[in-house]
Amino acid sequence: MFKKLVLAFAILAVALATAGTIPSGGGSYKVTLAQPSVVNGNDLKAGEYRLTLGAEKVTIFIGKQAVEIPAKIESVDKKFDATVIRYTTVGSKSIISEIRLGGTKTRLVFNP
């Protein structure tokens, strides 16, 4: 009985020690839009959004709704100090062309 308890405790200790060390698929990030924006034809209001990175796409969560957007995910040499969103203005609309994720080396490039 004692050996089973020790074995169970050892397995639990190893599981807890390695939790979080296994890399996730792409990561999840929060981005705040200061102005109404458009990305890949989707209108986004100003506010906070959650982004999840995939292989060749970014999923933007708008409340409970998710929108998948094709994007080029690039890695640069140096980490970005802060999250920066680059816009292209077409008419009166601000179209997101690039997002640099602060604290990472990741840059998301969107096709206009």
Structural domain includes residue 3:
no
Q: What is the pLDDT of residue 30?
A: 92
CA geometry: angle 38, 42, 43, nearest 5 deg: 55
Structural domain includes residue 15:
no
For residue 103, the enclosing domain spans: 25-109
Tens digits of per-residue pLDDT, 48-80?
A: 999 999 888 999 998 888 889 999 999 999 999
Alpha-carbon separation of residue 43 from 29, 39, 46, 51, 111 (angstroms)? 19, 7, 10, 15, 15
Structural domain includes residue 57:
yes
Q: Mean pLDDT across the chain, nearest whole number?
A: 82
Structural domain includes residue 80:
yes
Q: How confident is the model at residue 27 (pLDDT cuts 50, 70, 90)?
A: confident
Tokens representing 106?
């990741």
Tens digits of per-residue pLDDT, 7-19?
A: 555 565 555 555 4
Percent of the chain past pLDDT 70, that is, above it, reads 77
Structural domain includes residue 20:
no
Number of domains in the chain: 1
Structural domain includes residue 59:
yes
Structural domain includes residue 100:
yes
